[in-house]
Structure formats: structure tokens, C-alpha cells
Chain A
Amino acid sequence: MRGPSTVGAVCVLCVTVSIVVAHLFSLQDRGGALWGADLWAFLPPWSSEVALAGVVLAAWPVCRWVIAEVRSPRAEP
């Protein structure tokens, strides 16, 4: 069954990846280009790693669900 829920979940995952990537990139670049997302760069590295692990854990069930949805056969119209 692939429908709006799958599209929504994929969009949520894309937003998650974008925000996490922006945060990770900002750890390397403190030039101010990512001033809305570079806060972890000013805290101990372990803290961002712990927080990131939390996001990965929270993302896993959504990923698993999306994969299952994509693999499942389309429902007959």
C-alpha cells in the first residue's frame, strides 16, 4: 500500500536528513553560513553524538515502515 502516508514519511525523512546534514556540516564550517544550524559546534562533541544517536533511533521505525511500504505490492484499485 503506497499512498500519501508513504510520501509524507519519505518527506519527513528527507527533512530529517537535511537538518542533520546541515548540523554535521556546520561542525566543520564555523563561517556563519549556517548560523541557524551550527549550534553543536560550540558544545562538546560527545553531546552532539548522543543527540544524533537519538535522532537515528527515532528515524529507524519510520525508515523500516517506508521500506516495508515500498516493497509491498500495490493495492488493487
Chain B
Amino acid sequence: MIPRSGGSSAWPRARPIVLESAGILLAIVVFWLARIRHVLLGDGLAVIERPPGTGGIHGFEPLTSLVQEGAFRLVRATAGSRTPEWQLIWTAVALVSIAAGALFVPVAWRLAREIEATGRERVPASDPMDPAAARSRRWTELLVLSILLSQGYMELFFGYVETYAPVVLANGLVLLTGIRYARAEGSLLAAGAAIVLAVAFHFSAAALIPAWLLIALWGMVRAPDRARARRDFALTLVLAAVLAAVLAVVRPGYSMPRSLWDVSLLAATGRQENAAYLLSWEHLRDFVNEQVLTGPLGFVAFLGGTVFAVVRGTWRRLEAGFAIVAGLGCTFACLRAGDSNLGYARNWDLLAPAGVIFIGSGLMLVRPLFDQARIWRQVLVLGAALSVFHTLPWVLVNASESRGVQWFETLPLGLGRTESTIGLWYAFRGRVDLAEHWLMRSLDRNPSNTRAHYFLGEIYLATGRPERACLAFGYALKLRPEKDEYRLELARALALSGRWPEARAALQPILEREPSRAAAWAFDGILLFGSGQLEGARAAIGRALALQPGDSLYARVLSEIQSRASVDRMLRDDGADLVQR
């Protein structure tokens, strides 16, 4: 049994470790039990379609995609062979989310202590040896912690299938290490490592770079130990360069600096956004809803705290300046973010990691407003109650598949995107009838919804209606002629309908444009085989094998052609695999 008192006891030193370990374990249990039971939000449906790492590193979230890939390999190695791949992907991504959430707990605890330390400078100093004062302070820190852990962004830690959980954790670290350095308690290198980590997890964290540069510049120009700050600055740059080099080695051809530059330019100029939407009431509505959902307190606390800091002149203090610049960077990113292809509400997770910056900065900036410890505690109790009031139903709704779908049905995504996503969800769950119904509803709303056309085509193919699939893929391709996936599926549907020349004609543009694409030649081989041109089929598959020697799929297709296998079966199995390449 661990002794609770005693001057020379190891308990005082062990206590934080024991408490943090208990907090981490408790968090894992809670996150797992109340984990999200659907993948309708964000790119969840796309994430579970293909194993992490398929098609190379994710350009905007390189480190997260590598972590998820590692988790997937681990889960696949430990799971039985009968478990479907999508389930393995779901589990792996969910475990990364939960692990990030568990690690967020101690970070939030330290952040809560830093936030509360802001107050200690204004409140009349109490005797540090006074146990009553220490107890009171601990309760206040716990209240701050409970607010940090009850904001809407926490949903990302509940087994959420996307890539944003690690960056929430890293954003928390950036804020914590930045505030500590600004208070001359930590090192610039720690803050630098945190910002490098955050950006490598997700480029959206680049919004925090100006805040880090602020403290770095201060450190190199004004800090008492400027030499150390300059060394830490250089070490941070080296760290970033090493990470970029490692990523380039792990994924040849990938350049993190270039990708970061491209995406920053895109975000700053807003070229990909619909200007009319950004200036509309819909955008304002979506922005407010987003801040309520990922908060509810973060943005208002940051806004109020910033106004207060400006009025009272406390913004000149380095930690306040750091918090304000960090929050303003996130505000800019949130205001610039448009509707995206998913629809704003479904894409809520993209902006959610900013929530931890808003609430952390906001509480720190607001803290000096309350010069009486009692009223500050009462305000914190109210803030915690309000946060739980808001975030509890958010977690509970997502912890139930049926409630999650019901809520999703009401989202104003527009352009038939709500309906097509639900249709895809039902298709994924094997409810083909419901899937078809919702995809048709999507097309009623928006006949130009290419996703609905495409997935209807998939359903028609899966249910033995290739003629209808030809129509669906044909519409999809007409709307998005650049999508090779649509073209390949159209060719497959035409072939399954027995329209071999048309199928080859549909495939032809890909072969002409990309003659080194082995999968397209293998596909052409199947089409030639189906149309009775055995020699041509062998030659096409031979070309695919020459481009990618030893590829098992192409070798299998060749042996099937030589053994005169059923072309229908080849189109359904091998053809579907080839489309994915």
C-alpha cells in the first residue's frame, strides 16, 4: 500500500505519476466504451475503404498517416484472418485516436496548471506551505482540467476514424510548451519540437507557427539567455530538416517542405474556396455552429480574453502575446476554411484541433479578469457544467449508430451530400435497399452529385444490373471526365453488359495518356480476352508484367486467361482490384 504521508516518503514524488497513469487508464476505458459507432463524419468512409499507407503518404498529414499505417500493421498481425479488412482499418485508426486522447490527459493537466498559474500572480500570495491554500488551488486546477477535457473537440479521441486526434494532442503540447517558455520556465527547443511534431501530424498546425516565431524571436533578441535561445532555434530547424529527410526516405518523392508551402499558399490565397460562400450567411452560420460544436467555450473565451488583454494592456506580456497570436492564427484558418467537398458540417473535424488552442488561450487570457479566487472557481464550475451539458450529448449521439445517423440526416451539407453519404454508409453496412434509396434521394436533390452516380453504379454492379451501372458510371464520367476510377468502372460495366468494343473505347484514353500504367494494360487484357482476342490479351498482360515484373495480380490474370477462366468472374474480382490501383 502506498503511504499517503510522511516527510521522507516517496509518495509525494510518485503521486503525480500514479495519478496521471490512473487518468490515462481511465481515459482509455471511457474513450473505448463511448467510442463513435459510425464513420459518417469527416473522411471516415474513405479512410476505412483502403488500408492506411495505400497510395503513399498523405501529403498534408505525413506523420499521422505513418502512425496509422503502423497501427494497422499491428492490428492486422494480431487479429484473426477472418476479420474483414475494413474492420481492421477501423480498429487501427480508432486505437490511434484513443491513444492520442489518453496522452492528451496529462498534457491537459499540465496546461491546466499553467493556466491557473496565471491567476496566482494577481491573487494575493498565499503561503505555499498552507495546506488549505494548496488544496484550494488543486481544486481550481481540476476545474480548469475538466473544462479542457469537456470541449467538443474531445470527440476526436473517442475512436474517431480520421486523422485529427494526434494533432489535437500536439496542439496542446505547442500551447503548453509555448506558455512555459514565455514564462521562462521551459526551453525554446521543447516548444520547437512541439510545433514540428504538430505540423508533421497535420499541416493545419502551421497556423501556430507565427506564435512560435514570436517567442523564438523574443528569446533570441530579448531573453536573458539569448545564446541558448539561438541554439534551440537552430536545433528546431535541424529537427524539422531531419524529419523532412526521414519522411522523404520512408516515402520516396515526398517533400514535406514543398507540400507545406503549397498548402500554406493555397490556404492563404483561398484559391480553392468559393468566395460567394465565404461571404454568405451560410458561412457565418456554419462558423458559429463549428465553434459551438468544437467548444462550446473555446472561441468565446479566446475572444473575450483577447479583448480584455487589449483593454488592460496585458497583451504585452509574452505568454499573453503568444496565446493571442496562436488563437488569431487559428481564427484566420477557421474563417478561411470553406465548404470543401464534404460540406462544412461533415468536415467539422478539420477545424476541431483549433479548439484546444482557443480554450487553452482563452482561459489563460480570461483568468486575470477574476481577482477573487472564489468567483473564479464559481465561474469555472459553471463553465465545466456548461461544457458537459454541450459535449455529453455529442459523445452519446455518436456512441450510437442509429442516433448518429439520425443526427447526420439533419446536417445542411447541401448538394445532395447528406443523402449520398448516408447512402454510402448503408451500402457499406450491406443494406443495399436503403443505400439505393438514399442515393436516389441524393440525385433528386442534386442530379450532378457524381458520388451518388458512382456509388449507384457500384450497387448496380454488385446486384447484377450492369446496364444500369453503365448509365450511372456514364453520368458520373460526364460530370467528372478526369476521374479514371469512373472511366474504369464504366469500362467494367460495359464489359459485363457484353459491350466489349465500347468497353475498350472507354478505357482507351487512359492507355493513351498513361502508357506506363500497368493496371490499365492488365484491364485491357481482360477486355481483349472477353472479346475473344486471346493473343492480344496475352500481349496486354505481358506489357503490364513488363512494367511491374512479378506483380501477383497480373500474373494471376495471365494464368486465368491461359486456363480460359470465366471472364465475368475475372471482371468482378480482378477487374474490381485493378480499378483500385
**What is the interface of chain A, defined by CB distance below 8 A to chain B?**
3-5, 7-9, 11-13, 15-16, 19-20, 22-23, 30-40, 42-43, 47-48, 51-52, 54-55, 57-59, 61-62, 65
Contact = CB atoms under 8 A, between A and B. Distances in A.
Contacts of B410: 30-32, 35, 38
Contacts of B345: 32, 35-36
Majority DSSP secondary structure for residues of B touching A: helix
A61 B383 CA distance: 12
Nearest to B293: A36
B390 A62 contact: no
Interface residues of B, number: 44
A39 B304 contact: no
Contacts of B218: none
Given A37-B390, A62-B379, A43 B397 contact: yes
B378 A23 contact: no
B546 interface: no
Interface of B: 152, 285, 288-293, 296-297, 300, 304, 308, 312, 345, 348, 366, 369-372, 375, 378-379, 381-386, 388-390, 392-394, 396-397, 403, 406-407, 410-412
Contacts of B383: 12
B382 A40 contact: no
Contacts of B381: 58, 61
A12 B394 contact: no
B382 A55 contact: yes
A37 B288 CA distance: 10
B292 A9 contact: no
Nearest to A54: B385
Contacts of A33: 285, 412
B397 A58 contact: no
B110 to A, nearest CB: 25
A10 B108 CA distance: 27
Contacts of A38: 407, 410
B289 A34 contact: yes
Give the most central of B291, B378, B381, B406: most A CB within 10 Å.
Answer: B378
Contacts of A30: 410
* Of listed B382, B388, B390, B394, residue having the most chain A CB within 10 A: B382
A3 B375 CA distance: 13
A32 B293 CA distance: 13
A55 B288 contact: no
Contact of B388 (A20, A31, A43, A51): A51
Given A19-B386, A61-B378, A39 B411 contact: no
A12 B387 CA distance: 12
A16 B308 contact: no
Nearest to B407: A42
Contacts of A20: 386, 389
10 contacts: A4-B369, A9-B375, A31-B410, A35-B412, A36-B288, A37-B390, A39-B396, A42-B403, A43-B397, A58-B384
Contacts of A13: 382
